[in-house]
Structure 1
Amino acid sequence: MGFREIGRMSRTRSSTRLISRSKRRRSEIPWYLIVAVGLAALAVILVSQRNFRSNAQSPEDAYYQQAIRGIERVAKGDQAAENLVTYFKSHHEYSVVDHFLYTDIESRTQRPGYSGKILLQLVRNTYKERTFAALYDARSNSIITFIEDFNPDIYALVLLHEIQHAWENLELSIQNTPDLASDGYVDEELRAHDLARRLANNLTKGGYDFLISQIVQSKGLQYPSLLYQHEQANYDRFDALFGRSRSDSEFKTRSFMLLYGISSYIIELSPLTAHEKWEAKRKWYREKTA
C-alpha cells in the first residue's frame, strides 16, 4: 500500500471520528432547552385557542349577519334596492334583545354621544299582543324587527321595507307621520310596499307576478272591483314560492303581500291615468288598514 493510500485512509478515519463526536454533541441537548421549547409551544397553542374563542361568532352576531346577508341577497340585481343596502350598511348600528320595550329607545336621539345612525333592533321573542310585524320609528331613528317570526326571505323583504322608510326620512326629509289617514303616510307605505313587491318577484324569478296574474285571470277580476277572498289553494301556491310561515305575524304579512299584489295588478291593468291609479291604490290601502 503506497503513501497516498495510507494518507487517504488516515484522513477518512479522522473524519469519521469527528462526525461521530459532533453527532454525540448534537444529541446531548441540555434539558432546560427542551423544557423551554416545550413551554413556548404550549404558549403558542393557548394563545391560538384564546384568539379562536375571541373571534368566534356570538349568537347575537349570527342574528345580525343573517339579517345583512338576507337583504344583500334579496336586493341583488335591483339598483334601487342595492343602493338602499349600501346606504344602510354605512348608516346603522344594531342590538339584539330578547324583549322589545319602546322605553329603551324612545329618548335615543337625545342621549349624549348619539351617533346619528339608524338603530337596527333585532328582537328574538314573538309578542302575540303586538300590532306590527316591523316598524321604523323616526323619533328614535330605529328599526324594530322580530327576526324569529319570519323565514329569511320574508324577513329581508320586511327589513328592506323599513329601510326605505328610514332612508326617505333621513335623506329626503319625508317625515314618518303617525297620522295614518294622511296622504303622506299612505304614499310612503305604498312606495315601500311597491319595493317589496318588486323584490319578491325578482326573488322568485317572476313567480310572484305569475301567481297573481293567474289568480286575477281565473277569478275574472276587473277594476273597480278589487275584492278577493283568500283561498287555501292559493295560499299553498304562495307558500311554495317562499316556504311555510313561521308565525302568525308572518302569515299576516304574507296575506297582505298577496292582497296588495292582486289589487295593484288589477289597478295597473285598468284604463285609468297614472294619477288615478295612484289614487285608487291610496283608497284601497286606507280601506284595508282602517
Structure 2
Amino acid sequence: MRTATPEDAPHIAHLMDLSRDGWTGYTPVKVKELEHSLTTGELQVYVLEDSALLECYHRENATQIICMYPYCHPQAPKSMEDDLIAFAKQQSNARHIPLEISVPHTREREIQKLIAQGYVHSRTFYRMFLQGEVLHKMTAPELPAGWSFRTVKAAEFLNLHNNAFRTHYGFSAMTLKTVEGWYSEPDFDPEDWQALFVHGKPVAYFSIGKQEDGGHVYLLGTIQEMQGKGYGRTALRQACHLLKQRGVDRIQLGVDTGNEHALEFYKRIGFEVAYANLRYRYEPKTLTL
C-alpha cells in the first residue's frame, strides 16, 4: 500500500474510469483536477499494487472520514476490494473518528460487501436533475431595489457556508484552506462563486460548474438568520440561469434526504430525483479499561 502523489494522477484517473465503467452517475475524471486535489491535500489516495485504490477525503477538524467505494481494475483480484474496505476501517480506528463510504443504490454487490464487513447504512443522498421544459422556462430572478449578486472571495464564501449549515446533521465546518484550494483549481471562474447581497449584506450564496454531464450546483445556502425569506430560491434561480446561459441541457445537485425542507424546496423549483447515493458508516473501536 502506498500513498499517491500528484505525479500519479494520470494512472489514477485511468484506473478510476476503468473501475467505474457502467456505474450510475459516474463522470470521467479530469487529470488536472485530480492532480490539483492531490497537491493541495484535499484528497488522499491509497494505491494497492497499482491495480486498486481508495479515494479518501479528510479535512482539517473533520468529525468523520468520507471515502468513495474502492476502485479496482476489472482484472484485479477481488481480494483487493475487500482489503481496501478493511483498510478504510483501519484509518477510522487510527484517527478515532467514524468513516462513511459512498455507493450508488444500484450497486447491490458492493453494498453487500460493505455490510459483510460491518458497515451500517447511515444516510441517503438524492441526485436531482432539472431538465426539459422546466429548465427551458427558467429565467433570471427579478431583483428588488437593493438586491444584487456579486462574486465573493474564499474567506467570505467560507463564512457564509459555515453559518448556513452550522446546525445541519453531520456538518463539519470547512476551513479556509479547503475553500482556497477550490478557488485555485485550474478551471476556476470567479463567476461560479457568488453571493446574494440585500442592502449590502450577504444573505445567500452558490457555487456552480459545467461538466461533461451538464451543469452542477455544488453548494447553495442561506445564512440561518435569513432563512425562510426567499433568498435561497433567488440564489438557486440565478445559479440555474447562469448555467443555462452556458448551454447545458441538464442541471444537477445533491441533497441529504434527512433535510426534508431542502428536498421539498428543490422539488418545488422543478428538480426531480434521478437516483440515490447511499452512505455506509463504520464506527471506530474504542478501548475499554
Between Structure 1 and Structure 2, the one with more strand by share is 2
Structure of larger gyration radius: 1
TM-score (norm 2): 0.24
TM-score (norm 1): 0.24
Higher relative contact order (CA 8 A, sep 6+): 2
Between Structure 1 and Structure 2, the one with more helix by share is 1
